[in-house]
């Protein structure tokens, strides 16, 4: 069964830290691009960070550069998003998605209907 399962969401204060996990079943990360996306209430889904599961190259949206780190553990078929110093504007539902190696990591971070999605995990940043 192919699926993506996100975990690690919750409430965090500004300046704290949180680590999200995305575990893939039925996919081999060595042959895929994986990305983290988020959606705030009333807004569209946007790419946060994406990684090439084969060579580890990564892309970050400007607003999270220097604060968030994406990584993968291919042996565990899991991709992580380490969120340091989160801000209230980082609040939203976070989803992971996967594609075969058919585009760049930057292209992966543009949501489209070819992506296979997980069900999401909520992140709330508030004091």
Give the model confidence (pLDDT) of 17-67 as tens digits: 999 999 999 999 999 999 999 999 999 999 999 999 999 999 999 999 999
pLDDT in tens, 74-122: 999 999 999 999 999 999 999 999 999 999 999 999 998 899 999 999 9
Handedness of CA 47, 38, 91, 27 (dihedral sign): negative
Beta carbons within 10 angstroms of residue 2's beta carbon: 9
Phi, psi (deg, nearest 5) at residue 90: -85, -5
For 26, the token pair is 């039925």
């Amino acid at each position: 069964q192919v699926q993506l399962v996100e975990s690690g969401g919750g409430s965090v204060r500004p300046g704290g830290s949180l680590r999200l996990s995305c575990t893939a079943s039925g996919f081999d990360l060595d042959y895929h691009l994986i990305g983290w996306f988020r959606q705030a209430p009333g807004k569209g889904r946007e790419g946060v960070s994406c990684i090439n599961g084969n060579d580890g190259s990564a892309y970050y949206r400007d607003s999270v550069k220097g604060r968030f780190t994406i990584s993968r553990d291919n042996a565990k078929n899991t991709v992580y998003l380490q969120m340091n110093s989160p801000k209230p504007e980082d609040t939203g539902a976070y989803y992971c998605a996967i594609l075969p190696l058919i585009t760049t990591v930057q292209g992966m971070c543009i949501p489209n209907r070819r992506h296979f999605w997980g069900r999401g995990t909520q992140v709330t940043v508030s004091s």
